[in-house]
Amino acid sequence: EAGVVQSPRYKIIEKKQPVAFWCNPISGHNTLYWYLQNLGQGPELLIRYENEEAVDDSQLPKDRFSAERLKGVDSTLKIQPAELGDSAVYLCASSLGADSPLHFGNGTRLTVT
């Protein structure tokens, strides 16, 4: 089966600019996650979707971050405006259900200059 696909792989932007990341989960996976990972550390959950509904967005900085999962399949994560501290790897993962194993994409490495 095809894995979780993320794009772009790398993104370099100047601070205050907007940026968007895209994720295509494994076919049939209802649950989709966006995680942020700083270098050498564990991923931190930003938002979790069950189909098209965001069921846990408590850790999403809503003043600058937004996400959507229209039609319950693909998802986009947006940052506007980006700050220097947003530099990190943004990981998308999907699972069959909320308690099923997670399958991760290879992430988008964001550098804000």
Closest distance to other proteins from the beta carbon of 10 (Å): 10
CB 79 within 8 A of CB 15: no
When asked if residue 93 is in the footprint of other proteins (CB under 8 A), the reply is yes
Closest distance to other proteins from the beta carbon of 16 (Å): 28
Kindly state the DSSP code that residue 71 receives in the 8-state scheme: G
Distance between CA atoms of residues 19 and 11, nearest Å: 8
Distance between CA atoms of residues 27 and 87, nearest Å: 29
CB 1 within 8 A of CB 103: no
Distance between CA atoms of residues 53 and 67, nearest Å: 11
When asked if residue 107 is in the footprint of other proteins (CB under 8 A), the reply is yes
> Total residues at the site for other proteins (CB under 8 A)?
21
Distance between CA atoms of residues 73 and 40, nearest Å: 30
Residue with smaller CB distance to other proteins, 52 or 56: 56
When asked if residue 25 is in the footprint of other proteins (CB under 8 A), the reply is no
Closest distance to other proteins from the beta carbon of 47 (Å): 11
Binding residues for other proteins restricted to 41-60, rule: CB under 8 A: 41-45, 48, 56
Binding-site ranges for other proteins (CB under 8 A): 4, 35, 40-45, 48, 56, 91, 93, 98-99, 101-107
